[in-house]
Amino acid sequence: MASNEFQPLQGMSDIQAPEIYLWRMMEERARAVFTSYGYDELRTPVLEKLSVFQRSLGDTTDVVKKEMYSFKPSKHELAMRPEGTAGTMRHLAGRGEEGLSARVFYIAPMFRYERPQAGRKRQFHQVGVEATGEPNPLADAETIAMQKSLLDAWGLTGSKIQISTRGEPSDRKPVADGLRAALQPHLNDLCADCQRRIDENVLRVIDCKNEGCQTIVDQIPSAIEFMSEASRTYLDQVIQTLETMGVEVTVNPKLIRGLDYYVHTVWEISHSALGAQDALAGGGRYEIALGRKAIPGVGFAIGFERAIMALEACGISGEQFAPVNGVWLVSLGETALVENMKLAAELRAKGIRCGMELETKSMKAQMRKANRSGATKVIIRGDDEIEKGTAIVKNMVEGSQEELNFEEVIRNA
RNA sequence: GUGAUUGUAGCUCAGUUGGUUAGAGCGCCUGAUUGUGGUUCAGGAGGCCGCGGGUUCGAAUCCCGUCUUUCACCCCA
């Protein structure tokens, strides 16, 4: 790192081997799990009209207000997506009737202009799903169960699912009023942030990290208690269904999700290995209005960078998924070198991972490279072998070797 | 946006109160039977000490700025 002129931008990073093998494993298994649940992959553009995000995430949220990369190259103000749901809804809204009962997933980079820290990048990556359809506790439960089975497929252990509800839109006012009234007597004991939040966004007082605020919050009724009977029943049904399915969740009425579009069930998955940003995934039921009518649905997103931190804490790393079992060709002399290039092409056409040195180097050097490549088999050819129509095949694990007919070598490879 | 923190070979890091050609380990290259790896031994290559400015006879070392790293707040995945 002699200079930073070749470094990526702040909060962005190049993902290279061996870590990339972990990414690939996660992507492959995510596709397999989602496909088994009947979901299809959807790839939306990175750039959307700014209004797509303003309308679906709510233009008062921090994500929209101050964290978006936005610019105006021509007529429309554009923005790079800070999350995946808005673009997906923009797409589904355009599919009319069909978009109201869709099951899609995405694996894509997201962009947020924030100060980077542990598990927080300016370009970060999410895998997420959206299932549109009228509110149904069973759909919420299935989504959470699917998310859990993805984490299992990755080998991630030690994560905790916390669940709560935001209730129906009609619950918002009673909840806010109720909390404000309950907090009013304690106003002077709240931290400066919370004194501001009590008017701007009361819900945020509830998950304030300040200890003093927390003791006050513990004394007052939870947000759920101000909600309608129907909203509470809905949450109970989700929890019961999950219980029947054997998915363990903890109810946490203090759980707050920031985006405006959430209704009913919300949840978060955290892991102790993550530091302050301990949420590796979040999800919830939402209602997003882009066209004339709102699209109801349920979905979640998992942060790759954070999931990887948690996986590494579980002892899972990229090296474990590096390609293995290759063949390495050793060539002694110009003739063998060219002949081996033909052989390599033939082996590769058969799907065999095959490497070789393209300049004439000592056998020792070539063997060293073979060893480093992780090849389990080495095929050695020099002038003698070419003339005889043979090749030496060496087993790198056992160290044994034998001279075989060239045709036989190809057949056994 | 706020408050801290980091930057020396490919990697992980030393570098004493500012003082001659900036070091180690690992890795890399070459060699130890001129056709055999992973162990060992010997040799070698490789650094504008993040970048710009300042102080000084002299700066990797002190000061200022800038970029970057990491962490917390905030917010969120």
pLDDT tens-digit series, residues A325-356: 899 999 999 999 999 999 999 999 999 999 99
Question: What span, in angstroms and rounded, lies between the C-alpha atoms of A397 and A260?
Answer: 58
Neighbours of A336 (CB within 10 A): 22
- Straight-line distance from CA A18 to C1' B70, in Å? 22
pLDDT at A2 over 80: no
Residue A208 CA to residue A191 CA, distance in Å, equals 9
Strand B, CB < 7 A, residues 7-46 of A: 7-13
Reading the block at residue A165, the tokens are 């509800």
| For residue A37, pLDDT beyond 80 | yes
- Our measurement of CA A186 to C1' B73, in angstroms, reads 23
**What average pLDDT does range A8-32 have in this prediction?**
93
Nucleotide nearest to A301 (CA to C1'): B77
For chain A residues 286-325, those near strand B by a CB cutoff of 7 A are 301-303, 305-306
- Cβ of residue A158 near strand B, that is under 7 Å? no
Structure tokens at A181: 């009234």
Q: Nearest 5°: CA angle at A225, between A219 and A226?
A: 110
- CA neighbours within 13 Å on the CB side: how many for A46? 13
Q: Supply the pLDDT for residue A1.
A: 42
What Rg, from alpha-carbon coordinates, does chain A have? Answer: 28
Contact between the CB of A208 and strand B at under 7 Å: yes
Distance measured from the CA of protein residue A281 to the C1' of nucleotide B29, in angstroms: 47
Any strand B atom closer than 7 Å to A194 CB: no
Residues A151-183: tens digit of each pLDDT: 999 999 999 999 999 999 899 899 999 999 999
The answer to whether some atom of strand B lies closer than 7 Å to the beta carbon of A401 is: yes
The arithmetic mean of pLDDT across residues A207-215, rounded, is 85
Query: How high is the mean pLDDT of chain A?
Result: 92
For strand B, is any atom closer than 7 Å to the CB of A380?
A: yes
Using the CB atom, is residue A120 less than 7 Å from strand B? Answer: yes
- List the A351 CA – B35 C1' distance (angstroms): 29
What's the CA angle centered on A313, arms A306 and A278, to 5 degrees? 40
Residues A54 and A63 sit within 8 Å (Cβ to Cβ): no
Cβ of A332 near strand B (under 7 Å)? The reply is yes
Indicate whether A3 pLDDT > 60.
no
Tell me what pLDDT residue A4 has. Answer: 63
State the average pLDDT over residues A250-259. Answer: 87
Query: CA at A296, C1' at B70: how many angstroms apart?
Result: 41
Determine phi and psi for A212, rounding to 5 degrees.
-60, -45
Cβ of A254 less than 7 A from strand B? no
Residue type, position A289, single letter: A
Mean per-residue pLDDT, A376-394 = 94
Summarize the confidence of residues A98-122 as an average pLDDT: 94
Distance A6 CA to B51 C1' (A): 13
Beta carbon of A396 within 7 Å of strand B? yes
Coarse DSSP helix, strand, coil percentages of chain A, rounded to the nearest 5 percent: 45, 25, 30
Q: Domains in chain A, ordered, with CATH?
A: 4-168+227-319 (3.30.930.10), 323-412 (3.40.50.800)
User: What would the pLDDT profile of A294-331 be if each residue is shown by its tens digit?
Assistant: 899 999 999 999 999 999 989 898 989 988 889 999 99
ipTM of the complex: 0.87
